[in-house]
């Protein structure tokens, strides 16, 4: 699927709902597990508040802020691009052009701050309706360009982790290590990054990097999530400073097998709940069933934005279905009493014939000697 095909699907949904135009908005706080409606529609993620307007005749316009963002947006998408320092004035002008009698759908209102969301709701008035559910249903699969960006982002993540293995030594602080990793990935082409990195002899969970200084015997946990061209990827890795006791290698193999079970189960048409059951199976058989639920783990994976985040969290109660062209991370990250928390996860793309791991090499338990 490409961007033009996605817009056609949205137009068909608008027609069924009787809408004359769709207003997609995005705030200036970006979360990698939050869909960006403007990016899904226009193919561009602005730094500031932005909006895209799609008319029923197919005309698509994008307004970005600040105004100088037009230089970056021009050529990056098929929409006509305008820049604005006063987003409210620009949006009011766009609504006036559409006409007061037009029936409008709005998507992304929840991404705005309170003042902006209240103002937009009042400006739209009773002629508008929330269209998030219908819109996200039509945009839940990645485009070919987004999949290529996810592949590149995965390569950048692996490069960042390789840098960690080079630098992690006793005496190095978590925050210094994280800074070097982020710099490495920025040089490699990452336009954004979400990073969790922490170390301890016995981890309860992963956390943001702090002032802790690495010691021999520490288990380093890292969740590395760079973005390339607005598409995130994520790898989850575990490494020990120094030689590891055999039990760590043995228990980590359980997580690797869980990942493989999930990879094999993630076929088009499968339910997320079945995928989670496959991931948990060998851990339950090994006697760790009580640890396969919160608070010992959160989810077995999740979608990756800024675009579509489908199929959402990989949780046992999810009714979502796996479809071709979905990209998400499978991570059987797990607390085990003998080892503490360990992380094992890679991003995957679903194809008609099955699911492919985007990471090379895949997650392994690394020892930094």
One digit per residue, the tens of pLDDT, for the chain of length 369 reads 788 889 999 999 999 999 999 999 999 888 778 889 999 999 888 889 999 999 999 999 999 999 999 988 887 787 889 999 999 999 999 989 988 788 999 999 999 989 989 998 888 888 889 999 999 999 999 999 999 999 999 999 999 999 999 999 999 999 999 999 999 999 999 999 999 999 999 999 999 999 999 999 999 999 999 999 989 999 999 999 999 999 999 999 999 999 999 999 999 999 999 999 999 999 999 999 999 998 899 999 999 988 889 999 999 999 999 999 999 999 999 999 999 999 999 999 999 988 999 999 999 999 998
b/e per residue, 236-274, with b = 16+ CB within 10 A? bbbbbbeebeeebeebbebbbbbbbbbbebbbbebebeb
Question: Which of 138, 154, 176 is a domain's end point?
Answer: 138
Q: What pLDDT is stored for residue 79 in this prediction?
A: 83
* CATH number, domain containing residue 92: 3.40.350.10
Tell me: do 150 and 27 sit in the same domain.
no
Task: List the domain range (segments joined by +) for residue 209.
Answer: 144-368
Domains held by the chain: number: 2
- Read off φ and ψ for residue 102, nearest 5 degrees: -70, 145
Tell me: do 193 and 87 sit in the same domain.
no
Q: What pLDDT is stored for residue 131 in this prediction?
A: 95
Q: What pLDDT is stored for residue 33 in this prediction?
A: 81
Tell me: do 92 and 156 sit in the same domain.
no
CA distance 303 to 318: 13
pTM for this predicted structure: 0.92
Q: What pLDDT is stored for residue 195 in this prediction?
A: 96
Joined tokens for residue 59: 């005309």
Q: What pLDDT is stored for residue 30 in this prediction?
A: 80
Question: Which of 92, 119, 138 is a domain's end point?
Answer: 138
* CATH number, domain containing residue 301: 3.90.230.10
Tell me: do 98 and 55 sit in the same domain.
yes
Question: Which of 108, 138, 168 is a domain's end point?
Answer: 138
Report helix, strand or coil for 109.
Answer: helix
CA atoms within 13 A on the CB side of 266: 29
Tell me: do 249 and 125 sit in the same domain.
no
Tell me: do 348 and 240 sit in the same domain.
yes
Output the CA torsion sign for 101, 106, 112, 114: positive
């Amino acid at each position: 699927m490409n961007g033009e095909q996605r817009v056609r699907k949205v137009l068909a949904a608008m027609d069924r709902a009787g809408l004359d135009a769709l207003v997609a908005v995005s705030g200036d706080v970006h979360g990698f597990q939050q869909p960006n409606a403007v990016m899904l529609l226009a193919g561009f993620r602005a730094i500031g508040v932005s909006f895209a307007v799609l008319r029923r005749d197919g005309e698509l316009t994008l307004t970005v802020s600040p105004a100088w963002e037009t230089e970056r947006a021009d050529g990056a998408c098929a929409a006509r691009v305008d820049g604005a320092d006063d987003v409210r004035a620009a949006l009011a002008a766009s609504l006036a052009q559409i006409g007061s009698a037009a029936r409008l759908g709005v998507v992304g209102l929840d991404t705005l701050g309170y003042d902006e969301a209240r103002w937009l709701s009042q400006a739209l008035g009773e002629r508008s309706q929330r269209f998030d559910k219908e819109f996200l249903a039509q945009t839940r699969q990645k485009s070919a360009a987004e999949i290529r960006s996810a592949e590149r982002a995965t390569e950048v993540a692996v490069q960042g982790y390789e840098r960690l293995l080079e630098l992690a030594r006793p005496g190095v602080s978590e925050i210094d290590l994280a800074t070097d990793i982020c710099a490495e990935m920025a040089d490699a082409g990452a336009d954004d990054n979400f990073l969790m990195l922490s170390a301890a002899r016995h981890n309860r969970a992963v956390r943001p990097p702090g002032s802790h200084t690495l010691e021999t015997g520490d288990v380093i946990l890292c969740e590395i999530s760079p973005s390339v061209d607005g598409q995130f990827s994520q790898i989850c890795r575990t490494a020990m400073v120094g030689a590891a006791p055999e039990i760590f290698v043995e228990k980590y193999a359980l997580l690797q097998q869980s990942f493989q079970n999930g990879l094999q189960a993630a076929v088009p048409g499968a339910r997320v709940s079945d995928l989670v059951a496959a991931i948990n199976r060998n851990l339950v058989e090994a006697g760790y069933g009580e640890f396969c639920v919160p608070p010992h783990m959160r989810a077995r994976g999740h979608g990756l934005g800024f675009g579509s985040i489908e199929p959402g969290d990989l949780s046992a109660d999810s009714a979502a279905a796996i479809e071709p062209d979905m990209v998400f991370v499978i991570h059987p990250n797990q607390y085990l009493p003998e080892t503490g928390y360990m992380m094992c996860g890679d991003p995957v793309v679903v194809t008609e014939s099955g699911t492919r791991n985007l990471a090379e090499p895949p997650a392994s338990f690394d020892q930094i000697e």
